[in-house]
Amino acid sequence: MSRQTEATSIEHYENFPVASVLCPAHLRAPIAAIYHFARTADDIADEGNASAQQRLEALTAYRQQLVLVSTHPQVEVAALDPRWANVFSALGTTIQKQQLPIQLLHDLLDAFAQDIAKTRDRAGYADEAELRDYCRRSANPVGRLLLHLYGVSDNDALQQSDAICTALQLVNFWQDPSVDIPRGRYYFTAEAKGTNQVNEADLLALRQTPAITAMLKACVQEARTTMGTGAPLVHRVPGRAGWELRLVVQGGLRILDKIEAVQFATLQQRPTLRARDFAVMGWRALWM
């Protein structure tokens, strides 16, 4: 997935923990519909040369299409915005057949809108609570939607799914500051910078100081702990999907290993997974 879950076969939308090879056949179409909904919204928020205002306006129109297909299940394709007719035609069918929790889809759009506004304003996050609230909307809905498709709905499973998805989002943040900061995306919180006495000018200049290294080390440990909280879910998800989830978890953990291996110097380089890492992930997945 992606920057965040490179353990998987989906390479573009960073918050979508789906390994299509292991996906149950009867769920491939619903999962693809949700994926393309999220991928297209991410493109609106992040790709091309549109202004922030244009992106927000497009995302508002996109949300209106979500409202349309979720409230009018028999809507004709011709009535859909031609920019996204294929996306919402498939999503509308999935919403109807799978009875998707619609608010989770709106939460994803809320997160994309927040990304646009934060990037426009070159704004960061005050503390861990605010950052995790963003993860609640940007990452956790994906896990909950997948659990819904798998028929898993108890509260413990939902909380474990949230922990895995939040951890994956955090992994992505700490893997990518060399990419995110030049693009105006700031995920190190003011609280973390203050605790570690990080100089903001060093951070913006991508200078890997000891203070920044210490901050990243603490961030990586927090992501690893959060992943550990959610990892027992792999024993609750049935069949091939459970094995898929094992690989997703191990992919996130392996990226953390790679960050540690470069001494947390991710302002200077972006650790990625290589062929040998997938073998390690597969072996570890067997023993979860």
Q: Which domains does the chain have, with CATH numbers?
A: 20-286 (1.10.600.10)
**Residue for token digits 């918050």?**
15
Buried b or exposed e, range 179-194, using 16+ CB within 10 angstroms: ebbeeebbbbbeebbe
pLDDT at residue 278 tops 80: yes
Rg (CA), the chain: 19
Compute the Cα dihedral for 139, 140, 145, 149 and give only its sign. Answer: positive
Q: Helix or strand or coil: residue 178? A: helix
Residue 243 burial (C-beta neighbours within 10 Å; 0-12, 13-18, 19+): middle
163, 227 contact by CB (below 8 A): yes
- 75-102 mean pLDDT: 94
184, 119 contact by CB (below 8 A): yes
Instruction: Give 143-198 pLDDT, tens digit per residue.
Output: 999 999 999 999 999 999 999 999 999 999 999 999 999 999 999 999 999 999 99
Rounded to the nearest 10 degrees, how much is the dihedral formed by the CA atoms of 274, 205, 179, 195? 80
Q: What percent of the chain has pLDDT over 90?
A: 80
pTM: 0.90
Residue 25 burial (C-beta neighbours within 10 Å; 0-12, 13-18, 19+): exposed
Least-confidence region, from 19-23, 40-44, 59-63: 19-23
Where residue 48 falls (left for φ over 0; alpha for ψ -120 to 50; beta otherwise) is left
What span, in angstroms and rounded, lies between the C-alpha atoms of 116 and 118? 6
